[in-house]
Chains A and B, each alone.
Chain A
Amino acid sequence: MYRIRFHGRGGQGMKTASRILGAAFFLEGFEVQDAPRYGAERRGAPIFAFVRADRSPILERGVIPNPDLVMVADDTLVGMPQAGVLQGLNAHAVLAIHSTTPAGEWRQRLNTDARIVILPPLFDLLDAAQRVRVSAVIAGAAACLTGRVGRDTLSQAVRTELADLTNTVIKDNINKALQAYDEMNEFKGIAEPQPRTDTPLPTGWITLGLDPATLAAPAIHAAANSVQVRTGLWRTLRPVFDYSHCNRCNWVCGSFCPDGVVSADENGWPRIDYDHCKGCMVCVAQCPKHAIQGMPEGWAAQQTMPTPPSPDRKEAAP
């Protein structure tokens, strides 16, 4: 049985990717199971979906703890323990990452025996209009890596799953899926199902990480304890202030931030609580002075964030 897990962020189409691959396997005569993991499947939050495909009826249920193939749409999730990308990977497994970073570097960074394959991004991931096509790309690459799905079947599966969309959009998605398929050609079929004997039924279906007791069992009558949930992990773009352009109209960025994570200090300079900022970029879009910029999170995390100038700076009126 093929066991395939898709990792991405809410809004990147991992559910659709799993459906496309599932449909493609089905068209090739397999028994198929595909499902997203429901829960906090909000836009930006780490999510996963999975596909099982076999020639005989599938009796296994639940999330896949021992995948043969893991597809990662968003490479910022790989190093994030909460996303669980590396869970259950062994030397048999293939880890395919949609990334500009070469496989060798990932191999050094990650403590995993899995075989690593890189799918170079076929378009600008930061461009929202392009992002919808990630599902087709990821499904197309996965189809090739299993070696069990032909190009025609893949096209047909994309067409079936995206039937609600316009013909132009469907064609475009089919092209992207095929492009990703061809991109993976040298690795065709490297993801193989584990022989049945090697896969005893997992004892724990879902392995949940252990949180410290203070986190796992907070007092339920505590007020405002949602601060312990770090929604900053959802972010792919980080809003960064350029205080030299900021005119301290903090009621603008402060009022419009949906999550209320922009507050003003005693001198009126705005500050962002990066532990909770979800990276929606509303503040960037609304700042009249263009004093906030969206920076890729991976890059921004390496930088020191600018601090507000001293209180007596003259040129900026409060």
Chain B
Amino acid sequence: MSPKSQFSGMKDLPKTHLLAPGSAMCAGCGGLEAVREIYDVLGGKTVFVNAAGCMTLMSVYPYTPFRGSWLYTAMASAPAGAQGIRDALDILKSHDRIGEDEDLDVVVLTGDGSAYGMGLSSTSGAIDRDLDFLYVIYDNEGYGNTGQQTSAATPHGARTATATSGIGVAGRKKDLFSILAAHEPAYVATVIGAEPLDLARKVERAKTMSGPRFLIALSPCPTGWGFDPQLSVEIGKLAVKSGAWPLKEYVDGRLVHNRVPKPLVPVEEYLKRQGRFRHLFEPRKDEFTLMDIQAQIDAYWAGVMDHDGA
């Protein structure tokens, strides 16, 4: 990580918070935690473009937790909305209608339903046009706001409102990180609210760049994943320690893993705390599916070792 970071340790993390409280996210929402930590570093000179999802309820008329503006778009088109705002700001600047100091960073904020699915083509288009924007994806692995239906980000073996029996969703979580990186944008990183230092450094780095930049935040969701809100951070940490959520960056055209968990905590530790995986443990342990999930993770990290030599 860049040696010039203002965040050399946890002690340097913000002591007061910029995002106002009072928004309607569930108690213990891991998505809100990540967005709030990101906002603390990003600052208030931002305009948020938000596609329908849980975070839409942050700004319910007439209240807003943000210090700058907020635009609501349809689920498939937040990056297109960001293009409009970026263009408008650039035109205002070129006509001297606003000064450089009045410029705003354009930030897209959507859930996984938009980012991994409905909005993917408009994101791809925005990268093709080299749009100067930051895209924050809070990934709660389902359509949370409508009751946690399956999305393209739902992992193998999780039950959702639309996969209520058997092993739940049978399939793989879409690898959005690689899809985005394959476009060769300025920056792509995965983060999680439970690792605030890693997150702060990545936001800091993204802030200094221009062009399309992406932060994908795994967002433990007490309501949709079925756990007591107080476990939100513990589960987030376990996602990283078990290797289920690799912390990584695509920067300067290279893939870097920021932390290689050694040894990996067995993924069961992560899964068994969540109601959406309870059927893998009760009434009888589903050894086959659990081994399958573990094998996927092991294979991923074996590939990382070969590639990075880490």
Q: Which residues of A contact B (CB under 8 A)?
A: 10-11, 40, 42-45, 128, 164, 166, 168, 217-218, 220, 222-231, 234-235, 249-252, 254-261, 263-264, 273, 276, 278-282, 284-286
14 contacts between A and B (CB under 8 A): A223-B67, A229-B22, A231-B21, A251-B15, A254-B15, A259-B23, A261-B17, A273-B21, A276-B21, A278-B27, A281-B228, A285-B230, A285-B233, A286-B233
Q: How far is the CA of A44 from the CA of B27 in the complex (A)?
A: 7
Contact B233 A263 (CB under 8 A): no
Asked whether A280 lies within 8 Å of B24 as measured between CB atoms, the reply is: no
**Cβ contacts under 8 Å, B59 to chain A:** 226
CB distance B26 to A256 under 8 Å? Answer: no
Question: Are the CB atoms of B63 and A226 closer together than 8 Å?
Answer: yes
* Given A43-B222, A166-B282, A229-B23: A258 touches B30 (CB 8 Å cut-off): yes
Q: Within the assembled complex, what's the spacing in Å between the Cα atoms of A258 and B105?
A: 23
User: Given the interface contacts A223-B44, A281-B229, does A276 sit within 8 Å of B30 by beta carbon?
Assistant: no
In the bound complex, CA of A264 to CA of B10 (Å): 14
| Cα–Cα distance between A258 and B38 once the two chains are bound (Å) | 12
* A223-B64 contact given A43-B222, A166-B282, A281-B230, CB 8 Å threshold: yes
Least CB distance from B223 to A in Å reads: 6
Please give, as numbers and ranges, the residues of chain A lying within 8 Å of B266 by CB-CB distance: none
One of A225, A252, A285 near B231 (C-beta < 8 A): A285
In the bound complex, do residue A279 and residue B27 qualify as a contact, i.e. CB atoms below 8 Å apart? yes
**Is B132 located at the chain interface by the 8 A CB criterion?**
no
For the complex of A and B, list the 9 residue pairs with the smallest distance between their C-beta atoms, beginning with the closest.
A260-B17, A276-B21, A226-B22, A280-B28, A281-B230, A224-B20, A229-B22, A278-B27, A280-B27
With A220-B61, A259-B25, A282-B229 known, 15 other A-B pairs at CB within 8 A are A10-B26, A164-B165, A218-B62, A225-B62, A227-B21, A230-B22, A231-B23, A255-B37, A256-B194, A256-B233, A258-B30, A276-B22, A280-B27, A282-B233, A285-B234
B19 at the interface (CB under 8 A from A): yes
Let me know if B32 is at the binding interface, CB within 8 A.
yes
> B57 and A228: CB pair below 8 A?
no
With a CB–CB cut-off of 8 A, which chain A residues contact B30? 258
- Say whether B283 faces chain A, with CB atoms less than 8 Å apart: yes
| B30 shortest CB reach to chain A, Å | 7
Does the CB pair B63–A168 fall under 8 Å? no
Least Cβ–Cβ distance between A116 and chain B, in angstroms: 30
Tell me the B133-184 residues at the A interface (CB within 8 Å): 164-165
Q: Is the CB of A260 within 8 A of B230?
A: no
CB atoms of B26 and A226 under 8 A apart: no
Q: CA A285 – CA B28 in complex, angstroms?
A: 11
Do A258 and B36 touch across chains, with their CB atoms under 8 A apart? Answer: yes
Which chain B residue shows the least CB distance to A11? B223
Q: Is residue B265 contacting chain A, with contact meaning CB distance below 8 A?
A: no
A251 to B24, CA, bound (A): 24
The answer to whether B33 has its CB under 8 Å from any CB of chain A is yes
Asked whether B32 lies within 8 Å of A226 as measured between CB atoms, the reply is no
Q: How many A-B residue pairs have CB under 8 A?
A: 154
Instruction: List, in ascending order, chain B residues with CB within 8 A of A222's CB.
Output: 64
Interface residues of B (CB under 8 A from A): 10-30, 32-33, 36-37, 40, 44, 57-59, 61-68, 164-165, 193-194, 196, 222-223, 228-234, 279, 282-283
- Cα distance A306–B11 in the bound complex, in angstroms: 24
Identify the interface centre among B63, B230, B231: most chain A CB within 10 Å of its CB.
B230
> Which residues of B sit under 8 angstroms from A255, Cβ to Cβ?
10, 13-14, 37, 196
Q: Determine the chain A residues whose CB is within 8 A of the CB of B25 once the complex forms.
A: 42, 258-259
Q: Which residue of A lies closest to B32 (CB)?
A: A258
Partner of A166, one of B18, B36, B193, B283: B283
Q: Contact between A223 and B58 (Cβ–Cβ < 8 Å)?
A: no
Q: Find out whether the CB atom of B15 lies under 8 angstroms from the CB atom of A263.
A: yes
- Tell me which residues across on chain B come within 8 A of A278, comparing CB atoms: 27-28
CA separation between A72 and B229, bound complex, in Å? 23
Q: A43-B229, A285-B231 are in contact. Are A256 and B22 (CB under 8 A)?
A: no
A42 touches B24 (CB 8 A): yes
Tell me if A226 and B20 are in contact (CB < 8 A).
yes
Contacts of B32 in A (CB 8 A): 258-259
Instruction: Chain A residues near B229: list those with CB within 8 A.
Output: 43-44, 280-282
Q: A252: nearest residue on chain B (CB-CB)?
A: B10
A residues in contact with B234, CB < 8 Å: 285-286
- In angstroms, Cα B10 to Cα A252, docked, is 8
Q: Is the CB of A263 within 8 A of B230?
A: no
Closest CB-CB distance, A74 to chain B, in whole Å?
14
Give CA–CA (A250, B12) in the complex, Å. 11
- Cβ of B204 to closest chain A Cβ, rounded Å: 15
Contact of A226 among B40, B64, B223 (CB under 8 A): B64
Assembled-state Cα–Cα distance A11/B233 (Å): 19
A264 touches B15 (CB 8 A): yes
Complex Cα spacing A166 to B30, Å:
28
Given the complex, which residues of B lie within 8 Å of A230, measured CB to CB?
22
Of all chain B residues, the one with the shortest Cβ separation from A168 is B283
Contact residue among B21, B62, B279 (Cβ-Cβ distance under 8 Å from A220):
B62
Would you call B16 and A264 a contact (CB within 8 A)? yes
- Which chain B positions have C-beta within 8 A of A250? 15
